[in-house]
A = this chain, B = another copy of it.
Amino acid sequence: MTISTPLSPTERSTPGRTKHRAVFDRAALYDVLDTGLICHLGLVLDGSPVVLPTGYGRDGDTLYLHGSTGARSLRAAADGIDVCVTVTHLDGIVYARSLNHHSMNYRSAVVHGRARPVTERAEKLHGLRMVTEHLAPGSWDHARGVNAKEYAAVSVLALPLHEASVKVRAEGPNDDAEDIEANAVWAGVLPVRQVFGTPEPATDLPVPAHVTARAAQASTGPCSGSSR
């Protein structure tokens, strides 16, 4: 992964409140996106916001989304309306001495932009590959490929990673000095992780290496195998 140009947030992508949590480098953006599994896609339908969970994939400074050609949300996005794609990792619950300083540790990326429909065959297949390999690394070469009917039934959208912001909180509670001195209330962080379990086969075939390798992340320690 290369560290290229810094993020250039505009007004809407500049965190208004907690500026000290904002991270303005492209490597941080790539990291949040690449270690996530789903994004939340926001768009405006009939004047109202709609937020839907969906898969995605990244190649360089392009984020690929896909969906059925029949999905209203993707049809709308393909018409060229603005979207907002957010990926969030919850890393911990922050217990503070005061209720006011209770918080969460997290890493989040918010991407604003206009998604364009990908119709050229080579790029569309490339986009599908990026989305598939993000969800299930190794599957593109392992599973039966996309036939003509399936190809026609899927939409692929490309969103440039031009306007984005990354926020990270990764620390203990930020209590007031008086509350720390009083030392009357426990404070600390309860870590939260996403882990893979044991594969549940639907076939009698042996579980392939690209799946066992991923599942094995969950057995490197007591729940230490994060999907990140």
Contact of A223 among B102, B191, B225 (CB under 8 A): B225
Contact with B along A16-57 (1 / 0, CB 8 A): 110000000000000000000110111111111111110100
The stretch among A1-9, A116-124, A199-207 that forms the contact with chain B is A199-207
Q: How many residues of A contact B (CB 8 A)?
A: 99
Contact in complex: B202, A187 (CB < 8 Å)? yes
Given the known interface contacts A49-B49, A99-B132, A222-B219, the answer about A142 and B198 at a Cβ–Cβ threshold of 8 Å is no
Question: What distance in Å separates the Cβ of A167 from its nearest Cβ neighbour in chain B?
Answer: 9
Contact of A205 among B71, B128, B183 (CB under 8 A): B183
19 contacts between A and B (CB under 8 A): A37-B192, A38-B104, A41-B51, A42-B50, A42-B51, A42-B84, A49-B84, A52-B108, A96-B143, A97-B143, A97-B144, A144-B179, A173-B202, A188-B203, A188-B207, A189-B199, A189-B202, A191-B196, A223-B223
